Every structure is written in structure tokens, then in C-alpha cells.
């Protein structure tokens, strides 16, 4: 599943090609996504101009104005979705469900084999949409720190890994990056969230920022279905310490990495380095 760094990489990759451009055509090949494509999307978008792209958690926000009521396209890539830039004359592939065609011939093309993603229309302020308003802070913002983690974890018996992955606590820390951050911070993912000290949560918050910033810089994590907005894959997978490496040797101490299931998600950790 594309996580926060993949969505941020996508935003940065497609932004120069679509910001400030007029939408001249909208082509919907498959409207039956996780949320059906709005039936009036073509009427709302043709003739409108795209503003500055933004990201909130794993959502991509595409503001448009100039044709009727201004609003925002709320895009979620789901399990297997990707956005890339194509050009007029470039034939769509199987599972290319939606195109936004721009006045310079560029096409923003949405590809999603599993159709778990969606694009929805938000009128007015996007921040009021319940899918966004209930989210916790961005992990790279000043609102996220060890003090927040410590305060929200008091009395919680939940294991720290699913606690860290709760979008009400902090957004965008999915399975890959939670595992990697806990390794960097030296925290056993099975440990109860309420039994971790403030000092260790400070280290964990720093580790979350470090691993996400590194992943964004390197273009996200190359997974089976992900491609960035320019069609280039990410390269962060080469640096993963624990995720997907169960049974292999710890890069730090050489011990065999262990696999457990937490919150119905696989979690790999080092029993020697993480306590």
C-alpha cells in the first residue's frame, strides 16, 4: 500500500505538470472505485484550473477553481493506485481508470488494479470533511513529538506498534515505517504503549521523523504496485532494516530477526536490539 512518503513523492512528482493548468477534458473509464466517481465530476472540472497541490496523511488534495464553485479533489491511492503524467497520444493501459487532460497536452492518469482507491469531490473547505478533520497531526510537523505520544499512551495496554499506526495519534505512519522507526528507537513493537517512558517516546518521535524524511528524499518505498508521479520507482527499500526481513540477520547486531503479528499486521523486529 502506498504510504505517506509514496503519496508525498507522487505530489512532488506531478505538481510541476498540473499546478496552474486548465483542465480541458476528463475521461472516466471506470467509475466503480471504492467510492464511485462523482457523476458530475466532468461538469465540475472541465474549464477549471488547478491550484497548489497538498497532502494530508495519505490523501492527495487537488484544489480547482474557475468553473462554478471552487472545490478540492480528494484522492486516495488505496492498496495499488498510482498517479503519473502521460501525454496526448499515449494509449491507456489496463486499469487506467481516469484521466485529467490539461491545456498543454499533459495528462494526469490514475491507475489502480484493485480499485481500492478513489477520487472524490469536496465543495468548500476540505478541512471540514470528516475523513480529514478527525486525523492526528502530520509526523513531520511541530505538532508531533514525544510529549504527545507519551500523553496519549498513558494507561494504554495496546502494543506500541499499532498505537503508533493509529491515525488519530499521528497520521501516515504505516506498517513499514512504524517497524523501521521502532527499530531505530530500540523499542520492542510488542511492548504496551502505556509502559514506555517519556524519554523513549522522544527517541521514537525523532526516529519517525528520520525514517519518513529519508524515505521521502529517496522517492518512497518500492513495492509491487507503486510508481511515482513521473513513472520512476522509489528506492527506500534498499535501506530497510527490519520490514520484510524476518529470518535474516539484524544489520546492527547480527541476531536473527523475528516475526510476530500485531493488530493483524506482520511485524519484524530484533529481539536483541529492541526491548
- Give CA separation, 233 vs 172, 211, 228, 237, in Å: 19, 18, 6, 10
- Residue 199 CB neighbour total at 10 angstroms: 10
| 3 given a catalytic annotation | yes
Q: What are phi and psi of 78, to 5 degrees?
A: 60, -140
Instruction: Report the C-alpha gap between 105 and 25 in whole angstroms.
Output: 10
Instruction: Report the C-alpha gap between 97 and 212 in whole angstroms.
Output: 30
CA dihedral 64, 108, 88, 226 (to 10 degrees): 180
Set 190, 237, 252, 265: catalytic member: 265
Set 3, 6, 8, 180: catalytic member: 3
Residues composing the chain: 275
Say which DSSP state 22 is in.
B
Set 2, 5, 139, 162: catalytic member: 2
Instruction: Report the C-alpha gap between 49 and 37 in whole angstroms.
Output: 19
| 2 given a catalytic annotation | yes
Nearest to 175 by CA among 269, 102, 40: 269
| 147 given a catalytic annotation | no
Set 58, 109, 161, 200: catalytic member: 58
Where in the sequence numbering do the catalytic residues fall? Answer: 2-3, 58, 265
Amino acid at each position: 500500500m502506498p504510504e505517506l512518503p509514496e503519496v508525498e513523492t507522487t505530489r512532488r512528482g506531478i505538481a510541476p505538470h498540473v499546478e496552474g493548468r486548465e483542465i480541458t477534458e476528463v475521461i472516466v473509464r471506470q467509475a466503480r472505485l471504492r467510492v464511485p466517481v462523482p457523476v458530475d465530476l466532468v461538469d465540475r472540472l472541465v474549464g477549471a484550473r488547478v491550484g497548489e497541490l497538498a497532502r494530508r496523511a495519505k490523501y492527495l488534495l487537488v484544489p480547482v477553481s474557475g468553473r462554478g464553485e471552487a472545490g478540492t479533489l480528494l484522492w486516495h491511492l488505496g492498496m495499488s493506485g498510482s498517479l503519473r503524467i502521460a501525454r496526448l497520444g499515449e494509449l491507456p493501459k489496463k486499469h487506467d481508470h481516469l484521466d485529467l487532460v490539461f491545456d498543454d497536452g499533459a495528462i494526469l492518469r490514475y491507475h489502480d488494479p484493485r480499485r481500492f482507491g478513489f477520487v472524490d469531490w469536496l465543495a468548500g473547505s476540505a478541512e471540514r470533511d470528516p475523513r480529514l478533520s478527525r486525523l492526528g497531526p502530520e509526523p513531520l510537523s511541530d505538532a508531533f513529538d514525544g510529549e504527545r505520544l507519551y500523553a496519549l499512551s498513558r494507561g494504554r495496554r495496546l502494543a506500541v506498534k499499532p498505537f503508533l499506526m493509529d491515525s488519530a495519534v499521528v497520521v501516515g505512519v504505516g506498517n513499514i515505517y512504524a517497524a523501521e522507526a521502532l527499530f531505530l528507537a530500540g523499542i520492542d513493537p510488542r511492548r504496551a504503549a502505556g509502559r514506555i517512558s517519556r524519554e523513549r517516546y522522544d527517541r521514537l518521535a525523532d526516529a519517525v521523523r528520520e525514517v519518513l524524511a529519508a524515505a521521502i528524499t529517496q522517492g518512497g518505498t518500492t513495492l509491487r504496485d507503486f510508481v511515482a508521479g513521473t513513472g520512476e520507482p522509489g528506492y527506500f527499500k534498499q535501506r530497510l532494516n527490519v520490514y520484510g526481513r524476518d529470518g535474516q540477520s539484524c544489520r546492527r547486531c547480527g541476531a536473527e530477526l523475528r516475526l510476530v503479528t500485531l493488530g493483524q499486521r506482520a511485524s519484524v523486529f530484533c529481539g536483541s536490539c529492541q526491548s
